Amino acid sequence: MMANLFSWRGAVLLAAMAFLTIVLLLLRGPRMDSSNPSQEDDGPENLYCEAAEYDFGALDVTKELERTHVFRIVNNAKREVHIERIRSTCGCTVTDVDRSLLDAGQQARVSATVHWSPRVGRQSVSLFVETREFPVPLPLRLECEVVSGLQLSTDVIAFGALPPGKQEIRTVRILSRSPGRSFRIKGVSTPSGNLSVLDISYGTDGTANIRMAMTGQDSRLDEVVPVFLTTTIDSLPPLKLTATAVHPGCLDVQPRVPVLSFEERRKNAQVRITVETVGPNSQAPLEVLCELPEGILHDTEVAQSTGGSKAARSIVTIKAYHPEGPSHTLSGLVRLSQGTGKLDLPVLIKRE
């Protein structure tokens, strides 16, 4: 009986040792075999580029905007890698690679030629090197800053607070970024009827000076209007700056920039403008003169109500008709006059 007891205890001990051995083997996991390429890490770090981003810097929009850069990539994996294609986020890019099959540790040259858009501002293109072996492509990036061939002394012309009738004058200076390049100002346009160009002069150093004037109105409207400058450099898009002024007068309107929106396949559009008047002018009739581009017919209705001897509210409804609807955004002007109060309001005409 004692022999059977010892035999049973031995069997239990052997079973426990076998179970413990299996658990330890499972915790250690399978042993990696470096000779088996299927067990290698297929992460994107196996295809590597030390300088994966390149910035071309500032490019003059009036000059050639095609640029080429060569990336050097290396295969860090312990096996050969097949480059199948290079994908780009922009059709303006042409890519090429000097070899599509890379042995372990071998390098390749990826050439990328970008035809940057003649649009002033920051631009970028992303490239992705796709391989047969790795599910994650290698990302590359190209950037540039397309700049105007001309430089404005300021982007904002601030005229400050303008009481009714007061005129302020500001000067904007334009300098050529390219030494020896001459230019002339062809035109200055703005939707504001309060802003005018007094004169344009040119310096011996290749600069242009534009003197502009803004006149205060009987309006409580804070004016913020765009100003576009065109030059004799045909490849240069219009320069844009902003003119601001505060008119602490008696007229106020909503919306401040009315929009006549022609819906698709519709020939009619209308907009309502609320005019609030304070002070003695509130008792005078509101007169409206609407100046829209040629080809757009319009009718104006005014509903005026007084709120006592010192305040009034009017609703101006502008109804417009176009035989086909405008093909692009246009601008017009609504001139409001009530007593001594006057306000020129820009209006946009566009197709939805």
Report residue 279 CA to chain centroid gap. 43
Please identify every stretch of the chain with a pLDDT value under 70, giving residue numbers as ranges: 1-16, 18-45, 178-181, 235, 306-309
Rg (C-alpha) for the chain, rounded Å, is: 36
Topology of domain 43-147 in CATH is Immunoglobulin-like (2.60.40)
Query: What pLDDT sits at residue 129?
Result: 94
Residue 2's pLDDT is 43
Counting Cβ atoms within 10 Å, is residue 166 exposed (0-12), middle (13-18) or buried (19+)?
Answer: middle
Instruction: List 131's β-bridge partners, or say none.
Output: 83
Encoded tokens for 322: 């176009």
**CATH, domain range 150-246:** 2.60.40.10
Burial (0-12, 13-18, 19+ Cβ within 10 Å), 148: buried
- 3-state SS class at 114: strand
The pairing of strands 341-351 and 259-262 is: parallel
**String of DSSP letters for 286-331:** EEEEEE--TT-EEEEEEEEEE-SSSEEEEEEEEEEE-SS--SS-EE
Give the pLDDT score at 68.
Answer: 96
In CATH, which of 3.40.50.920, 3.30.365.10, 1.10.8.50, 2.60.40.2310 is domain 251-351?
A: 2.60.40.2310
User: What kind and span of H or E run contains 11?
Assistant: helix 2-28
User: What confidence score (pLDDT) does residue 256 get?
Assistant: 82
CATH 2.60.40.2310 boundaries in the chain: 251-351
Cis peptide before 326 (omega within 30 of 0): no
Give the C-alpha separation, 216 to 195, whole Å. Answer: 10
Residues belonging to the chain: 352
Distance CA(269)–CA(259), nearest Å, equals 9
Query: Do the beta carbons of residue 225 and residue 192 sit within 8 Å?
Result: yes
**Residue 35's pLDDT is what?**
42
**CA terminus-to-terminus distance, the chain:** 101
pLDDT value, residue 113: 95
Question: Which residues in the chain are classed under CATH 2.60.40.10?
Answer: 43-147, 150-246
> Rounded to whole angstroms, how far apart are CA atoms 175 and 91?
34
Q: What is the pLDDT of residue 178?
A: 67
